Amino acid sequence: MELFNFENEHFRLLLMSAVFLVAAFILSVWLYRIMKRILKENKNPSWKNIASVIQYPFKALVLLIAIVFIRSHIGVTDIYGIKIGLILYILFLTVMSWLGISIVKAIKIAVIAGYDVNESDNLKARKMHTQMRVFERISIFLILFITLALILLSFETIREIGVSLLASAGIAGLIIGFAAQKSISMLLAGFQIAITQPIRIDDVVIVEGEWGRIEEITLTYVVVAIWDKRRLMVPVNYFIDTPFQNWTRQSADILGSVFIYVDYGFPVDKLREYMDEALANNPWWDGNVKVLQVTNCTEKSMELRALASAKDSPSAWDLRVKLREDLLEFLRLSYPEYLPRTRVKMVDDEPSSSKKQV
């Protein structure tokens, strides 16, 4: 057949293209292995995973460069009216966007690898995880936005429309800005949270009366994992505009409080002595803080507040529950007569002289 004749120009071009593509694929694999070997020599173990994250966009980029070289050598400009240069340009932008996103993810993996949020004192780790997650989302958004804009501007029709609308860009900008002011405010709030960090990943907060942990921070909303496994979705600007409680702002350790109500005659020192014994046998107490004080008095009872410290908020919850049980059991067994009681005084208003004498 004439098609497979070496003297046939189309066959020679086809064979040369195939050789170039195979060579490009081999080159991409070779370069990837060299890069993987270099990254493995790094002392940080997280760098070993970077090569696997960027391998596919890297190989695709090498193959695309080979295709561009083949196209420039052959000199083909269009096929059936389709511009080859435009298609390659769009593919190049797509692959570069893919590679950019992969690099951002690889950088995040490398940075947060040395920070474990599962440690007891994880303040610095939560800070780094929060910053990297927010900056990752912002970077991916900007990469996709710029890529899409460049792809749209590559079409002549869209460019002409853009030039014709340039005169009314001021009015259009005002309309778009007014319509998107909430989205823009949320985006700016996301930047502010990443920098100032009023909240971090795994922070313990009270939002809208609910106790929970910060599970996820995005550009537009924050996910709070409630203690009963519900999820509270909160707009990100809520944490800028509205007061809320952050129990782990400065450190992971936390104080747990238990309130006990007893009669006025109760010997507080006895309960204080027993509290020392109860905390010594409490596995969730970290050994730092133990205080029992009279914090209030009402017409019916005294209010006692027991304070004890734990290494983190889950431990503080278990600490409080166990301590409350122990103190109540001590009162029930040792001093049941001093449990809160209601006093009633019976008053006889009838004069004694009017009573019948028997």
Q: For 177-235, how does the pLDDT look when each residue is reduced to its tens digit (9 = 90+)?
A: 555 566 667 777 777 777 777 888 888 888 888 888 888 888 788 899 887 788 999 98
Task: State residue 3's pLDDT score.
Answer: 43
Provide the greatest CA pair distance for the chain.
147
164 phi, psi to nearest 5 deg: -70, -30
- Assign 131 a pLDDT band (cuts: 50, 70, 90): confident
Q: What would the two tokens of residue 222 be?
A: 């924050």
pTM confidence score: 0.49
> For residue 226, is it within any domain?
no
Which of 110, 105, 114 is CA-nearest to residue 56?
105
> For residue 151, is it within any domain?
yes
> For residue 22, is it within any domain?
yes
- Assign 352 a pLDDT band (cuts: 50, 70, 90): low
Q: Are 203 and 214 in contact (CB under 8 A)?
A: yes
Of 104, 133, 165, the residue that ends a domain is 165
Q: How far apart are the first and last CA of the chain?
A: 144
Chain centroid to CA 66: how far?
A: 40
β-bridge partners, 295: none
> For residue 100, is it within any domain?
yes
Domain at 293, CATH number: 3.30.70.100
Which of 87, 190, 82 is CA-nearest to residue 142?
190
> For residue 74, is it within any domain?
yes
Of 145, 165, 185, the residue that ends a domain is 165
Shared domain check, 152 and 8: yes
- The total of structural domains in the chain comes to 2
Task: State residue 290's pLDDT score.
Answer: 86
Shared domain check, 261 and 161: no
Of 165, 199, 217, the residue that ends a domain is 165
Residue 255 host element (H or E): strand 254-262
> For residue 173, is it within any domain?
no
Q: Where are the alpha helices (DSSP H) in the chain?
A: 9-40, 48-74, 84-112, 123-153, 156-164, 169-179, 181-196, 238-241, 268-280, 313-334
Q: What would the two tokens of residue 23 be?
A: 């060579």
Shared domain check, 261 and 141: no
Q: Which residue range is the domain that position 12 belongs to?
A: 2-165
> For residue 196, is it within any domain?
no
